[in-house]
Amino acid sequence: MADIIKLLPDHVANQIAAGEVVQRPASVVKELLENAIDAGAETIKLIIKDGGKTLIQVVDDGSGMSETDARLSFERHATSKINRAEDLFKLSTKGFRGEALASIAAIAHVEMQTKPEEAELGTHLKIEGSKIIFQEVQVVPKGTSISVKHLFFNIPARRNFLKSNQVELRHITDEFHRVALAHPQISFHYYVNGSELFGLPKCNLRQRIVHVFGSKTNQKLVPVQEETQVVKISGFINKPEFAKKSRGEQFFFVNDRFIKSPYLHHAVLAAFEGLVKPDCHPGYFLYLQVDPGSIDINIHPTKTEVKFDDEHTLYAILRSTIKHSLGQFNVVPALDFETDQNLATPYSYKDKSATIPKITVDPSFNPFVESGNKEVATKTYQLGAVAGTGRGAANWEGLYVGLKSDMGSEETNFGNLRFESDSITGSIFEGQADTTHSIATTFQLRRKYIVTTIKSGMLVIDQSRAHQRVLYEKFLKNSTVKQAVSQQLLFPLSLSFSKTDVVVLKDIKDTLVAIGFVFDKITEELVQVSGVPLLVPESEVGMVLDQLIADCQLEVGNGSFSQTDILSKTLAKTLAVKTGEVLESASQLALVNDLFACKEPMVSPFNKPIYITITENEIDKKFI
């Protein structure tokens, strides 16, 4: 039998490895930034064009590499971070597997310029698809500059799966934030399509957070600090009143490495329990320092998931630390029974006694006599005089003076009186002409479903999904026809956003205006809103815009229709009636009628069923 197992060529093996390491342009940015940090750089520049599809360039002033090291860095499993297997369990650097540059060079055009500080000349190297085009000696500055162009040029299928430039840029910006927040002692500069988006100087942690997320962030932060034998916790959490519906500002760092940990995230939520709404998420920037030997960071190719030796202890320490910070800085409301109440009295009133409140009444007031016919006389009575005996109680008959004489002048005919009644509106269901019957045919079940009758049986309608469909078609129609009605605010709202959020807001501004928003001005960190759609409450404008920005950053496509569709879905989901809300009978019937007036009443904007039909035959079978 012929041998069928063979070794794969290096360029094929590199492309396979690239599938694990490089999933999108943001993966390249992460690897290159981590290499620059490991090189001891003090200033790092990140340059992006067309969402990273055309160019990703990282320039640093780190240690640089010799000519031999520059060539070896693109070989598989070539690294300076570890020498033996035991080193994997005490890692203090970012990149250690030696796969990043080899994987990137296999699927892109890579150009490197590097020079150590002690060398006079540096190295210029070009690689395309794992093939070295040329390598020569050049005069270059200290440090390393790596340019990655035409990502996935030799794998068209992978390139076609990339999202729009805006979505890919959002992922790159997220990676930049994670690296920049973990290393405030390093200066970062971020350029997008020729313009500088971020210029972050060397500073402390609080200043770095403010520089990234805007000046308004400073008032939201509550410091967290705790040191035990197991872990050292530092960082900041956002005050409960600044919780958002989107999970934007949530960062965990372990030994200066960004991680994702649902278990530790639950510990944070447990500490905020009762302080934030169920559908809102608190922000946090938490830094954990643990023994490198107690964690395994090599369980996932992206190295964003780690495994702790004792997660339960970390959970308890983290939750109690956050609770302590919330209480220490008076964020949590509390009752202090030991406070002397006299201290709360102003000094100017300390010798004064309490006075009995007084009310003013008119004992001769007669509602059946015009005020011009009689002279109004008012008297002041003390509370005790009204309720008790004495002069105030003796004069109660004065309230009825003149009543008999005025009433006796003309006999009142109650037969000519007319009473107001509710107008009867049409219904989509037969047999609901009278108001009494229509109220009886709809009722709310578990504050979640609306049950109503039809000819063949009954309908069970999900109230939240039904309202989403109604609002979605209304917003979509307004944005398409561009005739949305805007509700002008008496006082314009000034809302603060981060620089990246403002960039997204400017991109979707035209669509928001078509829906009904009116913007007075949009600056780098401030947005002034003077008008909102009719269905958007003024108190929820900031939360609605946060959700719109978050959804557009992740889902919006290239076409304007897709952008309009995403915004309409987000507004409908945010403003729709939620499960648990009590609806009056009239509101239930109106929602049912509005639902069946829609073009697609069967499914919600997110393609989920809105109602189910239970026929009379199905009910009869249950009783057999």
Please check whether residues 390 and 314 belong to one and the same domain: no
pLDDT higher at 243 or 333: 243
Whether 619 is covered by a domain: the verdict is no
Domain termination residue (choose one: 340, 370, 399): 399
Q: What is the pLDDT of residue 122?
A: 93
Domain boundary among 141, 171, 200: 200
Average pLDDT value for residue range 362-389: 56
113 and 255 together in one domain: no
Confidence bin at 438 (pLDDT 50/70/90): very low
Average pLDDT over residues 452-456: 86
Whether 312 contacts 298, CB under 8 Å: no
Helix pair angle (560-575, 541-555), 10° resolution? 140
Task: Examine the domain organization and report whether 170 and 260 are in the same domain.
Answer: no
Shared-domain flag, residues 222 and 127: no
Lowest model confidence (mean pLDDT) among 45-54, 239-248, 417-426, 594-603: 417-426
Residue 320's domain comprises 213-328
Any idea of the CA torsion for 441, 446, 447, 450, to the nearest 10 degrees? -30
Average of per-residue pLDDT across 93-119: 84
Residues 316 and 369 in one domain: no
* Residue 160 CA: distances (Å) to CA of 53, 234, 432, 445: 11, 42, 55, 47
Q: Which of 102-111, 209-218, 546-555 has the lowest mean pLDDT?
A: 546-555
Record the tokens describing residue 35, joined without a space: 């290499």
- Cα separation, 81 vs 92, whole angstroms: 9
pLDDT at 402 over 60: no
User: What are the residues whose beta carbons fall under 8 Å from the beta carbon of 70, sequence distance 6 or more?
Assistant: 112, 114, 123, 125, 135
Is residue 15 domain-shared with residue 135, that is, in the same domain? Answer: yes
Mean pLDDT in residue range 118-139: 90
Retrieve residue 371's tokens.
């005020």
Looking at residue 340, its pLDDT comes to: 58
Nearby residues of 123 by Cβ (< 8 Å), 6 or more positions away? 65, 66, 67, 70, 112, 113, 114, 115, 135, 136, 137, 138, 140
Distance (Å, rounded) from C-alpha 60 to C-alpha 44?
Answer: 5
Average pLDDT over residues 65-77: 86
- Verify that 108 and 220 share a domain, yes or no: no
pLDDT at 139 over 50: yes
CATH, residue 297: 3.30.230.10
Name the band, by pLDDT with cuts 50, 70 and 90, for residue 368. Answer: confident
Same domain, 288 and 316: yes
Q: Tell me the β-bridge partners of 236.
A: 223, 285
Number of structural domains, the chain? 4
Instruction: State mean pLDDT over 197-216.
Output: 91
Residue with tokens 């390393």: 144
Amino acid identity for residue 55 in this structure: L
Task: Average the pLDDT over 426-440 and give the result.
Answer: 42
Asked whether residue 484 falls in the same domain as residue 574, the answer is yes
Q: Is 193 domain-assigned?
A: yes
Residues 189 and 227 in one domain: no
Q: What is the model's pLDDT at position 461?
A: 93
Q: Is residue 44 part of a domain?
A: yes
Helix ranges (DSSP H) in 556-598: 560-575, 585-595
State pLDDT tens for residues 303-361: 777 888 888 999 999 999 999 998 887 666 555 556 555 555 555 666 667 777 777 77
Domain match, 322 and 363 both: no
State the chain's mean pLDDT as an integer.
80
In a domain, 347, yes or no: no
* pLDDT over 90 (residue 535): no
Same structural domain for residues 187 and 51? Answer: yes
Q: Is the pLDDT of residue 171 over 60?
A: yes
**Which range among 48-57, 105-114, 472-481 shows the weakest confidence by mean pLDDT?**
472-481
Tokens of 296: 């395994």
Q: Does 404 fall in a domain?
A: no
Q: What is the pLDDT of residue 432?
A: 42
Q: What is the mean pLDDT of residues 511-518?
A: 84
Q: Are 65 and 114 in contact (CB under 8 A)?
A: yes
Give domain status of residue 333, yes or no.
no
- Kindly write down the DSSP assignment for every residue of 312-340, as one continuous string: HHHHHHHHHHHHHHHHHTT-S----TTS-
In angstroms, rounded to a whole number, what is the distance separating the alpha carbons of residues 223 and 181?
15
Domain boundary among 136, 166, 200: 200
Higher pLDDT, 324 or 498: 324
pLDDT tens, residue by residue, 246-300: 777 899 999 898 998 899 999 999 999 888 887 788 999 999 999 888 887 766 6
288 falls within a domain: yes
Q: Is residue 93 assigned to a domain?
A: yes
Mean pLDDT within 351-372: 73
What value does the mean pLDDT take over residues 389-404? Answer: 53
Q: What is the CATH number of the domain that holds 539?
A: 3.30.1370.100
Q: How far is CA 530 from CA 501, 507, 525, 547, 580, in A?
A: 19, 19, 17, 19, 32
**Percent of the chain having pLDDT more than 70?**
78
**pLDDT tens by residue, 569-599:** 888 888 888 888 888 888 998 999 999 999 9
Higher-pLDDT residue of 557 and 463 is 463
Task: Determine the pLDDT at residue 556.
Answer: 45
The more confident residue out of 426 and 138 is 138
pLDDT classification of 59: cutoffs 50, 70, 90: very high
pLDDT at 154: 85
What pLDDT does residue 274 have?
85
Closest CA to 169 of 252, 257, 54, 31: 54
pLDDT of residue 440: 41
- Residue 559: the pLDDT is 45
> Is residue 106 over pLDDT 80?
yes
